[in-house]
Structure 1
Amino acid sequence: MVEMRALGDSGLMVTRMGLGMAALGRPGYITLGHAEDLGRRYDVAAMELHAHAVLDVAWDAGLRYFDAARSYGRGEEFLGSWLRARGIDPAACTVGSKWGYTYTADWRVDAEVHEIKDHTLPTLQRQFAESRERLGDYLDLYQIHSATEDSGVLDRPEVLDELARLKASGAVRAVGLTLSGPDSARTLERAFAIERDGRRLFDSVQATWNVLESSLGPLLARVREAGMGVIVKEALANGRLTPRNTDPAFSASRAVLEREAARLGCTIDQLALAAVLDQPWVDCVLSGAATVEHLRSNVAALDVHLDEPARAALASLAEPPERYWAARAALPWQ
């Protein structure tokens, strides 16, 4: 079994690594090589079987945290059907999902618009009902999907009150938010200060942290010390920290990754994940694997231990946040 940790003071338990459904629930995604991962087989039934096969391997490997979202196509549906088909006790795992984006691609990879962001109360109410329909009693953690200053979600008391009501009523066990973009620190500072009934509203944060974008680390350490659970997403930078990144501009960074991985006897994706697991404030890091092979490789990162030369080498790869997020924004859906 993979090591379990308390997700801050939320009362939820998570494994050090979890599985995210972003690349498994819809035919189009921005991860490098996504089309090849799915074998360009986009039939719904085929994709559900594929998702179940990856989930089976995750379960057998000891992963017990699973993360979905309303905008992940049929991600919640695939996860829910797998949990029920395998007869998994809701108490034996922890499931998180998210609201705030509506999937609009209609199962097309070449859609002009893949998702629409809306952080208003009617969207929260509609999407929570949809998430409950698909995940039922398995749903533990409900998160605002990509809370940003632009979306205005933290300035909407009616939304914050509804999240507090969902938690107080027992409809979910905890509420959280996920972050995106170079202004994530400001958003997290504000979210951390929000209270309802004399208690902090948000139990957890899901944030991007990897060896290219590590700027949020000190703040994540601080909120974790204060009891907020921390889940890390995009540890592999949407495939940029894997052998699939053949961009000539990345060659120097890739050489560092390959050298350190060879020295430690692992692959570069395992090294990048190990760098996340090396941070003491991380409760859970998400694998975004879309294939059984990639998931098995990701899980092996749990056995990779960094030394000081590796930590120093990986720290040298950090990019300015604005550059990192501009590169991410330029990734095509595929």
Structure 2
Amino acid sequence: MTLPHDRAVRVLVADDSELFREVLSSVIAVEPGFEVVAVAADGGAAATLARTLRPDVITMDINMPDTDGFSGIARIMADTPTPILVLTANPTEAVGFRALSLGALDILEKPQATTNLAEYGALLRSRLRLLAGVKVIRHLRGLRERRAPAPRAAGRADLVAIGASLGGPRALATLLRGLPADFPAPIAVVQHIADGFTEGLASWLATECRLDVREARHGEVLRPGRVVVAPTGHHLVVSEGIAHLSDAPPVDTFKPSVTPLFLSAARAYGARCCGVLLTGMGRDGAEGLKAIRDAGGVTVAQDEATSAVFGMPKAAIELGAAERVLPIDDIPRLLVELTR
């Protein structure tokens, strides 16, 4: 879904600070293709305005009086599902990711006193336009029902490689929660997210599951039950039993990109690798997932019904890269079966 080019993106701004409401409104509305339809001082007011005004996208602060951002997001996603961009003052804190688990789609750092507002505004508007084209609740059929043929019996997987983009933090939390503390294989993750947020993402995921989740470090050993997350500004690639951080150029505009991880996993592990491609926009990871399948590994794509955005899984399915297309709640059971 995309908005017509001749229609402005209608934005609702929610923040308890009058100064921030003014700053955000000004940097959003400076471009003709955007309109701030209203501002709200707390989550409850934002939910009410979302129901009456039906904005295309909402910016949401978390810490607000009366009704905070978490409550506002929960109400909006229950009553008037709308794409939500969470704005937080501290990207390293895990608390902002709770908002993504409630249904918000993306997270971005608030502007600081030293922030170049022209650059920040351009970044913010690009995110808002992207999110405004996302249909939050999907009741679509199509490719989800055209499942790939049942795969051949697979050997034991010694590595699980996972890629995700928009909607990914929530999907990752669901997947990792379903794995036991003694999960016998290492897990390598690439999640597209704003710069500086991977430390907070890893910290939050560690509180959501029984596994050891951390940002990946160059040269560290891949251990059973450990989840390593690609850090900001580096591709995560693997050799046999070792994680590496690469400063190679962006792939499909992303750094980190899912594709380098999957390609390296296919080379190093072959049939002993399982690749999982989760919700996200675009096609990053599709070619890499195909490489894992061609090497004999098991490949999985999240299904349309449980994906916030079906772009990346759909691209993999169309390419013939996904052996199995599964709801997010079914993927943990498969990973347990493959690693025992």
Q: Higher relative CO (CA 8 A, sep ≥ 6), structure 1 or 2? A: 1
Name the TM-score, length of structure 2 as normaliser.
0.28
Q: Which one has the largest radius of gyration? A: 2
Which is richer in helix?
1
TM-score, with normalisation over the residues of structure 1?
0.28
